Amino acid sequence: MDGWVGAWTGGRAAVHVGNVADFNEQFFAPGMDGAQRARRLRQAHHYACLAACYSPEPALLVLPAEVAPEWTDWLARELEWGPVEVHRGVSPGSTVARALAGRPALRARIAGLGGPVVHWGRTADQGEGPELATVRRYESKAAAHELFTELAPAHPDVHVPAQECPGGRGRTARRLTARAARGLTTVLKSPHGVGGYGTVVVEPADLFAAGGGRALLRRLVRTEVLPARGGLLLEEHVDPGPAARLRDLTYDVVIGSDGAVHPVGAGVMAVAGTRYQGVTVGPGAVPDAAAGTARRFALAVGERLAAEGYRGWFDVDFVTDRRRRLAPTEINLRLTGPAVAFVLRERLDRVRGPGHLVRTLDAMPLGARLAQEALHDHLDRLRPACARLGVTLLPLIPTAGHDPEPVVGLALAGTDAEALDAAQALLAAANHALAGMFEALR
């Protein structure tokens, strides 16, 4: 099989290992306490439910959290999978690697299948070497910025925002204050933030309201927006102007085992503040000009990563400026939230015909806390209404419905963008109505 699917799994059913927590743990800040680590672990295990869609067709799933079989059965029916062996609740209080270390039978089962094994990302338990070294290097937003700056002269439609690393927190606070005094908005970044965590946009008014740079940094640490220790980056804020509708773009790429670089596609991301919420991919989701610019730059990044030894999935994220230039902001050397949308699009195009748009909604709010069974029933009642709009409803993250701030992860698929908008609005209204329903039952 040609293209990115061939480079990713050879078109074969694969083992999917949901090691999101393992990957993220490599970059945990040293100042994080036990409670913070537990929260990050729980959040990572929620996100690892996306492992069901790490490739177009799974043969075996390793899920760290306890996921009711109704969810994977739903996906299997809609996506026309063959038999899927599911290992649920493998590591509820730990990482997948630690859990598998104590489960030799499961490790033997995975090896015995003889097919491709795909993970969220590369970790030390899979072996040291140039691939992991490249991950550790370019997951740093400072190292990624250096690469962007080096490549940008050959890409006139790409603008790399200025970035600096002042050093200690005191110097960072002083630089923030100096920039605010000049009326400048600053993007403050931890070098290893994930999904928008560890990144915050600081307006001059924010800094002065907080009582200065030091006070602002203390507040951001206290509210767990930034890590307690480690250097921080200050980056030029890119004003989107009238391009705001296409503010946040991504381009995904697969590097095959032979080092060949394969384009996957462009998507327009939904970002709340700085936090990734989902993506839309498919025909017309990103205008051709922007998609072409993103593709050329991401492939250039891929050639460099391949030369340094990286193999697998990665993406480059961009924001747009007033002149419709793309400003690259980071490289994610792993599977990504948008990767799931591309995988779903590939599978649906294969089994139902071409032309699918796919929109993922990674953290859609619920109006009440729901156990998985009740959440399944709630969404199952909404499935026919989505179908009447020509939209397929797919559950992706069902384990966060009982959190203090309950959410559910979903995907919507169809061939019409307005139908996706209508289905999203329908789901949002129904989820919001849960609050009134439960209040009436009290």
- What is the per-residue pLDDT across 106-128, written as a single tens digit (0 to 9) for each? 999 999 999 999 999 999 999 99
Say if residue 441's pLDDT is above 50.
Answer: no
CA dist 127 and 362 (Å) reads 31
CA dist 133 and 128 (Å) reads 8
Q: Which residues pair with 313 in a beta bridge?
A: 254
Q: What is the CA radius of gyration of the chain?
A: 21
DSSP SS3 for 10? coil
Q: Would you say 322 and 238 are in contact if contact means Cβ atoms under 8 Å apart? A: no
pLDDT, the chain, mean = 93
For 138-151, write each residue's pLDDT tens digit: 999 999 999 999 99
The alpha carbon torsion through 68, 72, 73, 76 (nearest 10 deg) reads: 180
Instruction: Tell me the whole-structure pTM to 2 decimals.
Output: 0.95
Closest CA relative to residue 139, chosen from 337, 338, 332: 332
Give the pLDDT confidence score for residue 256 in this predicted structure: 97
Q: Would you say 393 and 386 are in contact if contact means Cβ atoms under 8 Å apart? A: yes
Burial of 167 by CB count in 10 Å (0-12 exposed, 13-18 middle, 19+ buried)?
exposed
Query: What is the sign, positive or negative, of the torsion defined by CA atoms of 60, 64, 66, 70?
Result: negative
> Phi and psi dihedrals of 317, rounded to 5?
-100, 145
CA dist 50 and 29 (Å) reads 25
| φ/ψ bin of 83: left (φ > 0), alpha (ψ from -120 to 50), beta (otherwise) | beta
